[in-house]
Amino acid sequence: MEAILIVIGILILLGIIGFIFYALIYAIKIAFLIVAVLLLGAIGIVCGIVYGLIHSLLLFNVWFTAYFRHFHTAIRYANEQRNEIYELGYSGARRSEKSDENFDAIISDAFEGGNFFGRYISFGSFGNIIHLFGMLIYSVIYSIYFVIYISLCFCVGCVYSIAYTPYFYWKFFVVRRVFTSFSRARGALRSEARTVVPHHNIWEQAGLKALGYPMMVLFVYIHSVLFIIVFPFALTAFILVWSYERLYKLFFSTFAICPSCYIKMSFPSYMCGFCHKVHDDARPFFTHILYKKCNCSHKLPVSILSHRSTVNKCICTSCRTPIEAAENKPLCIPVIGGPSVGKTCFVTSTLNSYIEQMALPNSLQVKFASSSAAKQFKTLSDDMKKGILPPKTQRTKLFDMNLVISNGKFKVDRMLNIYDIAGENFGSSDKLAQYNYYGYSHGFVFLIDPFSIKAVAAEYRKQKDYKKVRTSITDLSDAFDILILNLEKYYGIKPDEIINKPCAVIINKLDAFDLNYRIGSVAISALIDSDQRLSRGEAENILCRKFLEDYGTAGFLMKLEHKFRHVQYFACSSISNTPDVKQKNIPGTLKSLTWILENVDKSLVR
């Protein structure tokens, strides 16, 4: 036992000694790093001061030489030409047009004939050096090997600046006019030239050259030292916030949908509430982790942790349309069907039933994403309760109901999007291409008008009120083929790929004639009585599928079940909320939505 304790003690002692040794080595490395940075900084400052002084002396020499020598040369040359100018007709206050031309030619020759006549020298180096050091600063920030790179920045920056001076004076002389023109006398030519004051005073330029570079090098040095201290903490904070943002979106499947162009955006743009500038980079980055400073000096939240979506106004990155609801979990369900199958009635009835029968009893708070959608839904819902059917959907208009669902138990709000477009758009895949939501839909609703099937129409055509039924003329297989072609053409679905999303096939207009007794609640109850093992959903699925198969749509059913992994058949009436249909006890539309939500997000149906 004592031997074991001795061995353990020796191991602990060796561990402590190793830790101390490692700490000393690490401390020596840090000390060498700090000394190296300090020495390099001091060398850089000294070189900058020397270079600034040399540059300012050269500036004085060249500037005074160029300015005074060539200024007086130009004046003497102009005085020598005075007699000749008088002889050309400049007497009194009148001169001819020809004399004006001669005068301009002589003045141009006098003051622009030489390389420096009538001009002074302005140096463009200051802006270039600023640009150079700016590039070095940002290079240092993003460099992993910071110490090596900052050493090269200081050494090369100073040596290069001094070595660059001869080429600089040869290449970047900017010669500007000293004399713009002679004032034209109306009696006699004035012998003295009117000069233009240089753009920059010589003392200002000399001060910039003498003090600008050392101050710049000092700034880089101080910035580098602070960067060594702050950078690890900033980088760690950025990585943590960035990782949290990605994991949050991945786990909760949050994204934004434009209500105009319907594109999907993981990170939409956001508008500043003060100056209304749109920021396309409102997301965590190295330079702005939680907040970003706008041009108006307002702090703009750029992270979920800083409540980005609740403070800022969301904007589409493509068409710049405002988005009312963002940073939530959308659930997108398009309704597919030809014209006059009852899609608008189905959407209105389904949402009305969901709000009244499921959301409110389960303490779910619901609201529409936009005031226009809420107003439109209320109008349609009130009209249907009075027996007034909605008007036909326009070809270029989308009936889009965006219902935001929240609960105290939800980490992220849900947004239920049920899309209804005019049935004429299912005549071509190109017409569907503008509706991008098919690429990110969570489920599909295929609405069928039973009287669009030729065999069903032939059987009921002799009925008394058949003409009152608005029959769709779109074939089932054609509408389905157009949908699949659109998915394959624009969203990368392969021809042999099985879509792993729920598809509810709904036989609508169950209130017409005797359909309720054949595939409705009456027939479902009768089938369950004959086989107690069946649930109502299973019995309804069997009856509806058999009804479609018996009337010659076996090919459509085979293609549908081959393409979608999860298919369920329903029968309902989209106008089940109207007074006449309520009395007949006809099934409504809620069960199809419930089945899709159970496969997508069960929290919305519990």
Query: Comparing C-alpha atoms, which of 336, 341, 311 is closest to residue 326?
Result: 311
The answer to whether the CB of 508 falls within 8 A of the CB of 448 is yes
- 258/400 Cα distance (integer angstroms): 11
Chain length of the chain: 606
pLDDT average, residue stretch 422-438: 73
Q: Does 359 or 210 have the greater pLDDT score?
A: 359
Under the phi-then-psi rule, with left for phi > 0, alpha for psi from -120 to 50, and beta for the rest, what region is 496?
A: alpha
- 283/249 Cα distance (integer angstroms): 12
Strands 264-265 and 256-257: antiparallel
Highest averaged pLDDT of the listed ranges 14-23, 100-109, 395-404: 395-404
- 425/413 Cα distance (integer angstroms): 32
Q: Spell out where 149-220 has E strands.
A: 173-177, 179-181, 194-195
Three-state DSSP class for 156? helix
Query: Comparing C-alpha atoms, which of 547, 595, 263, 553 is closest to residue 444?
Result: 595
Which pair of structure tokens corresponds to residue 585? 């006890």
Predicted TM-score (pTM) of the model is 0.60
Asked if residue 310 has pLDDT above 70, the reply is yes
What pLDDT is attached to residue 35? 66
Q: Which of 182-186, 268-272, 558-562 has the lowest mean pLDDT?
A: 182-186
What DSSP string runs through 533-594?
A: T--HHHHHHHHHHHHHHHTT-HHHHHHHHHHEEEEEEEE--TTTTSHHHHTTT---SHHHHH
Fold of the domain spanning 329-604: Rossmann fold (3.40.50)
pLDDT in tens, 548-594: 988 888 888 898 889 898 999 998 887 755 555 554 556 667 888 88
The total of other beta-carbon atoms located within 10 Å of residue 313's CB is 16
What pLDDT is attached to residue 117? 34
Three-state DSSP class for 29? helix
pLDDT in tens, 191-208: 433 343 344 455 555 555
- 191/325 Cα distance (integer angstroms): 77
- 312/304 Cα distance (integer angstroms): 11
Question: In degrees, to the nearest 5, what angle opens at C-alpha 257 toward C-alphas 255 and 261?
Answer: 150
Name, in order, each residue with C-beta under 8 angstroms of 345's C-beta and a sequence gap of 6 or more.
384, 389, 390, 574, 575
pLDDT in tens, 290-309: 888 888 888 888 888 888 87
Name, in order, each residue with C-beta under 8 angstroms of 141's C-beta and a sequence gap of 6 or more.
227
Domain boundaries, the chain: 24-89+101-229, 257-323, 329-604
Tell me the pLDDT band of 398, cut-offs 50, 70 and 90: low
